Structures are given as structure tokens and as C-alpha cells.
Amino acid sequence: MTERVSAAADGNGPVPDLNPAIARRLTAAGLDPGAVRSFVAAALGEDLAGGIDVTTAATVPAAERGRGELVARTPGVVAGLPVAEAVFWLLSAEVDCVPQAADGDPVAAGQSLLTVSGPVGPILTAERTALNLLCHLSGVATLTRRWVDAVAGTGASIRDTRKTLPGMRALEKYAVRCGGGVNHRMSLSDAALIKDNHVAAAGSVGAAFAAVRAQAPGLPLEVECDTLEQVAEALAAGADLILLDNFDVPALVRAVRLTGGRALLEASGGLALASAREVAQTGVDFLAVGALTHSAPALDIGLDLVQAR
């Protein structure tokens, strides 16, 4: 199986299909099983580099079977369990994975998240790849939940950005959802966001708005504004979603009053968890937090081999 995964990752062979049960769990999570399969195969191929796991091959008898537990070392919110399952299964179809939690669950230190059983060699070879993904995605979900809890009851939602790791956008935005956040656009083509450079190129907020509306009349369109004057211009142009860039709290309050419910408002730029509630209480609808994906610390999760024979 390791040779097959390495060949697929190098583009020299087909990527094996996922277990149907894992594929169903990924689909239910809003993830594309084929895309996850290809991503995981590439990650495994990077670890194997066309060769073998030398240490495991030398120390673990080929016939040895056992059971391991993926355990949270610190409390947090778990995300990415079916992705971790895909890692183990793609390396060896003989590895059986049984989730002990569900994505989006709060987990305690010492709690088992996933039981893996089968041949010990593939379990240990897949360990780091599975943990890299599970720890990172759970870290994103955990940080997101902190922000969501900070603004609870205000009516504001925590929203992510496109500041994601290349190739991991769908997974990271899924982790944001697991933490209770909501997603901004997935790509440059499914929604428009007029930023300051677009305004400079077009000549004004109104001109940029009109140009985008002419190009894509049915597409969701958000306008970034740096001043209250630009907010007024965006409202006059017909904007129904406005991003308030680097507005302090008093300016946010004035923008909310000026808008008067005619458009949704998103605070962005320099936001901090400690002041998130104060920002949310101004009446904005969203807080845009790039840190959810670009700065989330990994949740500490480890694999404990608890039974071998």
C-alpha cells in the first residue's frame, strides 16, 4: 500500500478510492471526498518520499497487529476526524478506525478521539501525517470557538477570510464551521469584494461597485470602506454588505447608525479576542478574523499504542 500511495502522490499511479463509510462522513461534513483523498495521498507521499518508513520497518514485525488511541493532550474542539481516518485507510485498508468523538465536540485533556486497530506498521507510519492534519484543524476549530464564545449573545457572527494555507482552504474553512464560525467566500469567483486597490483603479467606490455589478449582476458583493464617507458612497451605490476596515469602536458605532440597517456590516482589521465583545456590541453583523486560519495554534493530540500482539 505504501508504494501505491507514493506512486499516486508522484502522479505515477491512481489514488485508491476511500472507504465508502469515510467518504460518506466527508460528504456529510461538506467536504469533497475526492479532493481530500488526493490531498491526503500527497501528504503521505511527502512523508514516504518514494521510499519506506525505515524506522518502523526495522522495529515492527510485519505481522504485528495492535490498537492505538488518538488522545487529546489539552482541552479544545476537535475537527478533522474523517480526514485522519482517510490517512490511515489510504495507507492500509486493514486499519480500522472508530471515532470516539464527533467533529465540533468540545474535548477534555486525556479524552480519546479516534481508535485505530490493525497492522501496527501502517498505524505508526501514518501517525504523523494524521496528527499533522488533526492537530491543525482542531486548533482552528478551538480558536474559532473562543471567538464565538466571546461574542455570544450579541447577534454578531465570527467569519473567516481567504488567509488560508495553500491547498487547505476547504479543510480549514470546515474547521471554522466546526468551531461555530461562518465562512466568507471560498474563492475569488464565488463572491466579489471591492478593496481599496480596486477603488483606486476604478476611481471611486461608486465606479468600482457599478463595474462589478455590470460584470457579475447576481454575485454577492461586498465593499471595503476605510472612512464613513466611503460607507455613505457604498450605501448610495446600493451595497448590501460593507466591510469596515480598521474602524475603531466609536467609528463602528457611527457606521452602524449611518447604515441604519440598510446593509450588513463586517468589522475587519486589527481585531483582538480581548476586545471582540466590545466590537460585536457596536451592532456589526460580522467580525472578520484572519487569525482563525493563519495563526491558530495546533491542538495537542497524540497517538498512544495501547495494545500490540
Would you name the residues annotated as active-site residues? Answer: 128, 163, 195, 224, 245
Map grid coordinates 481530500 to a residue. Answer: 36
Instruction: Count Cβ atoms below 10 Å from residue 119 Cβ, excluding itself.
Output: 20
Q: Residue 150 has which C-alpha cell? A: 466571546
Instruction: Count Cβ atoms below 10 Å from residue 227 Cβ, excluding itself.
Output: 14
Q: Residue 246 has which C-alpha cell? A: 480598521
3 state DSSP class of 54 = helix
CA 222, 227, 231 angle in degrees (round to 5)? 45
Task: Determine the distance from the C-alpha atom of residue 143 to the mean position of all C-alpha atoms in its chain, rounded to a whole number.
Answer: 11
HSE at residue 60, side-chain half, CA atoms within 13 A, is 22
Q: What is the rounded distance in angstroms from the CA atom of residue 211 to the CA atom of residue 227? A: 21
Single-letter amino acid, residue 228: L
- What Rg, from alpha-carbon coordinates, does the chain have? 23
Contacts of 240 (CB under 8 A, 6+ apart): 221, 262, 263, 264
